[in-house]
Amino acid sequence: MFVASGLVIALISSPACSAPQEECVGRYRLTLPGEAVAALTTAKAFREPQGANIRFSDGLIAPLSSFIYDGTFYITDAMTRDDYDALVDTMKDRIAAGQDKAPDERPSALPVRDVGAYAWSGRGGAAFYAFKDGKAVSFVTKSEDRRAASAKALEILAELQPRGAGDVPAEPGVCLPGLFVKTSQDDRARIVGVTYRLKSHPDVMIFFLDSKALKNQPKLTSRQKNEFVWTSEFGVGKAVKLHGAFPWRSVKLDGREGVGSFGTITRKDDSTDYGYLVTVQGDPDAATDTPDLLLYVVRNDAASQGKTPVTADEIEKIGEEIAASIKRR
């Protein structure tokens, strides 16, 4: 197990902190400096569209999180088994009600072996519901090739396994919050980004993204991506002031050269927070899977839940230690 040094050791050795927690995101592993929880899909989003549908249990939004692996996952632990069964029954009713449509538009149930799971296909793709170790799961894959979409949905359902906090599987596959898809096949699409909060320091948010590099995406260098994130993508607040006369530094994630930066964030209410960011450019033309990687560690003072927020130095050190721990599984 990776053990952090310096300031992070001071954090995790205090009575308020737990031991480091091993985690995995997409096809990567990382070490968090203490026990952490991941933001999940809201239960409401399973029944109707909801903006910013990945959140923590106290309602704090995790706008960067993404659960995409050859389709889109919804994952929640805020749904009882009875509510899940009612969700499945509603879908069964919809499938039955659609049998009067033309054959190419008619939805149909797919055969599944997973007890309690339900899968179906329709015009434009296929989907399934599953209930794994207290978590309700929805998966949708879109395709004009209905047969291919059905095969993909059933393949992922067959390889879907529950995964406990701190459980990092040794076999090939893709990690999602509380789940693992066992697979050694090439990924058609993979944009897995998970946001964590430390239980002992709920003001500390940790986001890691493993995004498969695709040929049709803009090819930003690591520095261009770093600048773009601060100025446009995250919407962190009114302003960001990067530290240092030359704020861009060389940082490696899994031995790959990237760009790191650290900044003071001025929120819209004029409060101050701090963030540490590392970006690594992927290569869609590489012989092996070489994805875009991104690590963002930020303090959110407003989410401290009455606990003393960490300092700027602590955020930077936490970010550096997590970056050093990131490895391809």
SS3 readout for 287-323: CCCCCEEEEEEEECHHHCCCCCCCCHHHHHHHHHHHH
- CA-wise closest residue to 209 among 319, 328, 318, 295: 295
Spell out, as residue ranges, where the chain has pLDDT lower than 50: 1-16
Residues 138 and 88 in one domain: yes
Residue 193 lies in a domain: no
Residue 28 lies in a domain: no
Tokens linked to 58:
């106290």
Q: What helix, strand, coil percent values describe the chain, rounded to 5? A: 20, 35, 40
Whole-number Å distance between alpha carbons of 142 and 159: 19
Structural domain count of the chain: 2
Residues 221 and 326 in one domain: yes
Residues 102 and 181 in one domain: yes
- The C-alpha angle 133, 135, 140, rounded to 5 degrees, equals 125
CATH number of the domain within which 234 lies:
3.40.1000
DSSP single-letter state for residue 179? E
Residues 53 and 163 in one domain: yes
178-227 confidence digits (pLDDT tens): 999 999 888 999 999 999 999 999 999 999 999 999 988 878 899 999 99
Contact by Cβ (8 Å): 121, 105: no
pLDDT value of position 3: 33
Maximum Cα–Cα distance across the chain: 68
Residue 61 lies in a domain: yes
Whole-number Å distance between alpha carbons of 26 and 181: 9
Whole-number Å distance between alpha carbons of 242 and 180: 37
Whole-number Å distance between alpha carbons of 77 and 41: 8
Residues 150 and 205 in one domain: no
Indicate the residue among 154, 185, 216 that finishes a domain: 185
User: Cα–Cα distances in Å, from 208 out to 29, 99, 101, 246?
Assistant: 10, 43, 44, 24
Residues 90 and 223 in one domain: no
Residues 174 and 51 in one domain: yes
- β-bridge pairing 125-132 and 135-142: antiparallel
Residue 190 lies in a domain: no
pLDDT value of position 18: 64
Which pTM value belongs to this model? 0.92
Indicate the residue among 155, 185, 215 that finishes a domain: 185
Residues 79 and 16 in one domain: no
- CA-wise closest residue to 128 among 98, 150, 105: 150
Tokens linked to 175:
């990690």
- CA-wise closest residue to 129 among 90, 186, 173: 90
Task: Identify the three-state secondary structure at position 128.
Answer: strand
Tokens 């239960």 correspond to what residue? 43
Residue 303 lies in a domain: yes
DSSP single-letter state for residue 187? P
Residues 250 and 309 in one domain: yes
Whole-number Å distance between alpha carbons of 329 and 282: 17
Sequence-ordered list of residues with C-beta below 8 angstroms from that of 258, at least 6 positions apart, any chain: 222, 250, 251, 252, 278, 279, 280, 281, 293
Residues 126 and 47 in one domain: yes
pLDDT value of position 7: 40
Indicate the residue among 127, 161, 185 that finishes a domain: 185
Residue 272 lies in a domain: yes
How many residues are listed for the chain in this entry? 329
Residue 31 lies in a domain: no
Residue ranges making up the domain that contains 102 = 36-185
pLDDT value of position 323: 98
Residue 205 lies in a domain: yes
pLDDT value of position 233: 65
Residues 267 and 293 in one domain: yes
Tokens 């550096």 correspond to what residue? 320
Residues 157 and 56 in one domain: yes
